[in-house]
Structure 1
Amino acid sequence: MRFDRIRLQNFKCYEETDVRLDAGVTVIHGLNGSGKSSLLEACFFALYGAKALDKTLDEIVTIGAEETVVELEFSHDGGQYQIRRRIRVSNGDARTAECVMDGPSGTTEGATDVRNRVAGLLRMDTDAFVNCAYVRQGEVNKLINASPSTRQDMIDDLLQLGKLEEYRERASDARLGVGRVRDDKQGALSELDDQIAQKEAKNLHEQRNELETELSSVTADIENYEENKQKAEQSREQAASIIEEYEEKRTELDELDEEMTTLREEIEATERAREELASEIDETRTSLTDATERRDSLVGHLDGLDTSPEALDSERVDADLSAVTDEIEELTEQIREASVEKQEADSDAENHREQAEQLDTDAREARAEAEELDAEIEETESFVETKREDLSEMAEEIEELRESFSEEPVEFGEAETHYESVTEELGECRETRAERQATLENERERLAEAEQLLEAGKCPECGQPVEQSPHVDSIGERRERVDELETELQELEERIENLESNRDAAEQLREREERIEDLEANRDNLEQLVDQRETTLEEKRERIETLREQADDAEAEAEQKREAATEAEQRATEQQEQIASYNQQKAELADRRERLETLSETLDQIERLSETAERLRDEREQKKSLNDERRERLSAKRDRRDELREEFDEDRIETAREEKAEAEDYIEKVTEALSDLESKQSTLQERLGAIGNELDQLEELRERREELTGTVEQLESLHDEAAELAEMYGTLRAQLRRQNVDNLERMLNETFDLVYENDTYARIELDGEYRLTVYQKDGEELDPDQLSGGERALFNLSLRCAIYRLLAEGIEGAAPMPPLILDEPTVFLDSGHVTQLVELIESMRERGVEQILVVSHDEELIDAADDLVTVTKDTTTNRSTVERGRLDERVVELS
């Protein structure tokens, strides 16, 4: 992999910068504080985003700028890639506004997706990149200063050995899970055995036989009582029949009395009607006389009318009436035209009135909506108050859960760390066990080989004849070593068992802590909901104010419409006066037409009254015949009533009532007895059913026990397999780590020997737990911390380069390594050590590292550079600029 180009806009101290980077060694040179390291931080940020920053996004944005843009172009495994990240500052908060990665396999968008794609491409996440390829300023001694376990984790993660530990932990967790399930199933099996024993102790079959005998007796009693009850019901029905017959005759008598009363009333009503008809006949005669007189009077008041008897008929009167009607129609047309104009004015007035009413309605609706919103505000305020109470309850539960940690071995917030600590210690014990097992196996093999040599008469150490060897007694030491390892393994097994139990307890604490976190998250969500509702309250109050303003506007406009309506009404009044004039003329003609109509009607009335008088006389005669018929029917009903009265026997009815009462009393008693027996029968049936169910349950329990026994056996086998799998992963990890330790130790010594010319040190040793030891020529051991500052820094750089080589050679070209980046590596080096650093850089280039980037203010490193990038800062603007050129070109410029 190689960085090709980095472009910056408003990144820290860079306003606009575009730097091209080539293969080989590039030295980024400049004074302290000029912004050299920021170029490499920009490359690191382009790859991994916010994860690459020690602080926050807003600190990379140039002060006073609103936006930062970082673009990185790089080559990897034969492909060309480009990443663009744009950070936007809004209201003092910096956020990623754009993140895009283009490459041979397409485009990836989004900060998280781009970071994951880069990690997959390089097979390194942020931490791995820093631990392997990027020696950041001030971290040159990071690996040597780390604890052995931390250094072990760093290197194991780089070499992907963490996956094996992850698999081993999964297998171990699976074993624990299977163990828990097995224990649960065994507990369930024990419970089933107890349940089966309890049910078998009840003698369920014997109980069922006794209950069936008792149920048979109760059933016989029920049948006897039901037979007696049936007889009593028959007696009751016979008595009821007699009483019912009596009631029917009593009803018929009552009906006859009612019908006779009705007939008498009808006869009386018909007689009154005949009298009324007689009166109507007299009135009709009187009306006929009046009509004749009215006819004569009308004829006298109609000018120009021929009143001779032969001319005074309806047809002649109708002809005169038609002529008057024509004249009236003419006036009516004139009135209609005037009415149209009046109607238009009335319509305008009505429209204005309706619009005014609609505006009034709008105003009322707006005010009504405002009232509804007032009610909603009250309801929302009640809701907010309720939710505030819920928040208080959640806070109490959180407080109780937090207080429960006072009785635990860890404080709240430390459960996860405690769990990880126990898990880490458990993992370390398991790894140690695997290593001890591998060592024990080796020691046993060496002991067996030594014993074979000894039996053959040869030295266990050198293979020489025993009489010539000084090492014969070492075989006893080997046996002691085997015994010590076996004892240590036993202690480790006990320690692992205790740690597994502690981890289960720690996991429960972690779950309780997660419950608190969930409650706190729910509380935050509920608080947001309450805040939203309170915001809604303010919006509704603003809406109420708007509605009431609209109502005021509508009422004002309604008043204007009413004024326009008044003007239209005035126009209508003027047309009405014209219509009145026409109507006066029309009224005079109408008066004549009315007299003619009245005369015509009177002539018709005289004819009708004559006919009516004749009809009323006929009707009066018909009503007389109807009453004669009713009187005959009344006489027949009176005879039937007397006949029924003679048939009544009061003593028989009383006897029937007594028998009915006695039967009902017996039925009530026997019904109660039957109810008790049926209840008892139901109870017995339920008990029988319950015993039947228990017998079925007993059979089901036996079947479940058989099935559960097989499940427990399968879980036992699965538990053993999971334990073997976890042990296999631990052993494999220990073996692979041993191989990597050997390779890393070899490369570290090669690198250290290459760059360190002092004959004081003989070699460096790296044990299985990544503890480093320096050996002097005289065999004395030194801890790296005992080296001088420069030697220690050079030692660490050698270790980092060795790790880089190990990864590069282990990958075998499948995933090319990123550039080797050294940020201010000379901080702790004197002049002599800087020269050795130059040799180290040169050796890494010769070993095939495609690109090495060195940030330094030291002039001596310039000699090791293929390219030189010079960074300067303007002290007045505090902005940095970059100047790039080949080293030979710069030399020419300087000369």
Structure 2
Amino acid sequence: MSDLILRSLDISNFRSIRGQIHAPLDAKVVLVHGENGAGKTSLLSALEFALTGMVQSLERADPGYEKQLLHRSATEGRVFLKALAGTAEQSFSAVLSGTGPQSISALDDQRASFFRERVFLPQALLGQLLQIYQDASNDAESPLAKFVTKLLGLDRLDALEAGLKPLADVRNVRKIIDGWAGVEADKSRLDRLLSDERKIREGLSEQIRSALSDLASLCSKLQLPTDVREDTLDNVAAVLSEGSDTDAFARLTDQQRRLASIRREIDAAQRASLSNGAATPTGSEEARAAFARWETDHGARVGNVRGRIEAFLPDISLPSDPERFAEVTLARLRTEKKQLGDRTSQARADIARYALAQNERDVSLRQRDTIDQELARMPSSAGSLGSALAELTSFITDNVCPVCDRDFGEQGEGSLSDHVHNKVRTLSASAERLLTLGRTRSEVQIMVERLEREIEAIGTRRLDEEALADLDRRTASADTLITELESLHDALREGTQLRAADVAARRALSEAQSRNVALAAARDTLSDFAGSIGAPELEDDESFEAAVVRLENLLAAGATHLEQRLAMRREGSDHVATIRTAILRCGEVDQRIAEDLASWQHADQALARAQILRDQGNAIRNAVDKVRSAIIRREFNDRLNRVWRDLFVRLAPGEPFVPAFRIPQSSTQKLQPRLITEHRDGGEAGGTPGAMLSAGNLNTAALTLFTALHLSVPKELPWLILDDPVQSMDDIHIAHFAALLRTLSKEHGRQVIIAVHDRQLFEYLKLELSPAFSNDSLLTLELSRGPRRDTVCISRRFSYKEETALFSAA
């Protein structure tokens, strides 16, 4: 990964970046410029988010920052980064939506951590960097501890020290080593455990003997031919589960339900006979004749109307009752008529609106064309030129032009200052007119799009003239049918009454004929049932009530006997299950007794071996501490502090106090270095950098510390990304900083990306970091806002060009 070169970055709706921009990055140096709020920090944060899946500086400020990554005016966004490793292309991407961001592909955890700590210096972190390292604790996850491990390669020594540290105190050993405290207490615990397990074993044996005795007694009562022992439990269970009693009980229950049904039939027949007697209904012939006369008078007309309604409403189901037929049909016809009227009105309204919308759209299109023609005639750069001339007026002191050095007085048209001011006013008025026309065109364009959508919607549902005529004809048919039904309303009501009277008379006659045979059939059914269950049949003089009671008592006695046998079978099955469970538990208890006894025998030997290993671990830990302390003191004093001093002195040559880390002379098991300042002339150390350095040099100290940390570890990623690092620096510091960036890019092979907001600094760095040899390159990215507040990224590439003009002059 040390030869991985960033190639391009595509951003869509990320933080303050609205819309989509493309930023090329395939150059040795990339300069990003933009005014405050233009999106420089958002661009670099998008680069970090694509590579690592998070934005570290935002997470420090707000743990819920992920909700703010998507631009507030958008519903989705995307970050897509391309990189080159030799000739192979790699990509890193993430997507944003209303539910939150999601990283698609990113660096692994190790390289992502290297990027956050050694490659990218956000603007918000620059002022906090010294404080972060000053307040670093001895925790293994602190920034300073991670740096020491990475710098010195102390992973194995740290792992040994961290793993062996608890061995110094046996109380810590009991906490972190599984089984240590348990082994120490095993002897007493196993003694109690073995005693309890033997008591449990005796209780289970007694439970098995008692259950076997009860099970043998039940089998004797059920007269089951089987021997009850532990080894014959399967046979006993099979005999107990035999289903003869269950089948007999099911048959008996079915017979009881059948007898209850026969009794209900007899009671119903007796009640009907007593309440109605032997009377035969009268008046059935008169009701039938009256309904026949009504059908002769009105049947043909009603049938004709019914047929026309079924043809008009083929999906309706019409009732046979005449009056109900009229009510259902009238409700459906009135609903159909209203729906047809609504559709006809809507169709005519659509026809009228369609033509009117087309006329409105044509007027709007002509208005938009007129605005476009006027915009084409006006120069688009009027505002920029007016701003440039306004800035130029501050350099005009007489009639000599500060640009071309010509005397404007020769023209005889007044002073140069008045001429430039008049020109600026003219250009400002043109720019204001341009903005007004642009807003008006946007409003007209919205009107055109709305009218086109309305025309398209009406065109999809508009009916033609033939369909509209069909709707009118169907509405007229509905009116006709409603009128005819309303005229037949009285005749249909009379038909309903006559039809109901005819049906009631026929039903009464049928019920009277069937009552006489119900009682005779019920007596035959009860007699047949008594024979089917093995009981004597009914005598001629035996009443229904006496026969039913006799049969119910016989069935109840049989049910009681079968219920007792089934209960004993269930109790026997429960005893079998209890015995089997007890036997299984006996085996488990015997196995635990054997295992616990073996563990008790090994307890003493395990404790002795553990104590030997603890003594050896403490000896190794002491040796590791001596080696680690020597490496840390040597590397901090001879490596990091030297690189930091060289970088700081190079950027701040006039500062007498130089920041450094001070390492304690005692043991480094708890790494607690302090930030101090040393005087160039020697002597005692000064206070912290915050107390001894000015604001500009304190910023320089933080910047050089980050660069020193970047250069002090192996190059996993060949990038150095800085977000507006020049804060409170004077011109000398900036010049030395530019020289440092040039050295890192051209001699150390770093791909440098730096963002600045100051225009003069941007132009200066563009000049200082310009390509100096054939393979060198420089990219500038300028961020701004478009007319609709969309982010605009303008890139410009600078390549090396050999200067031939001086060769020709020579």
Q: Which has the higher helix share?
A: 1
TM-score, reference length from structure 2: 0.41
Structure 1 length-normalised TM: 0.37
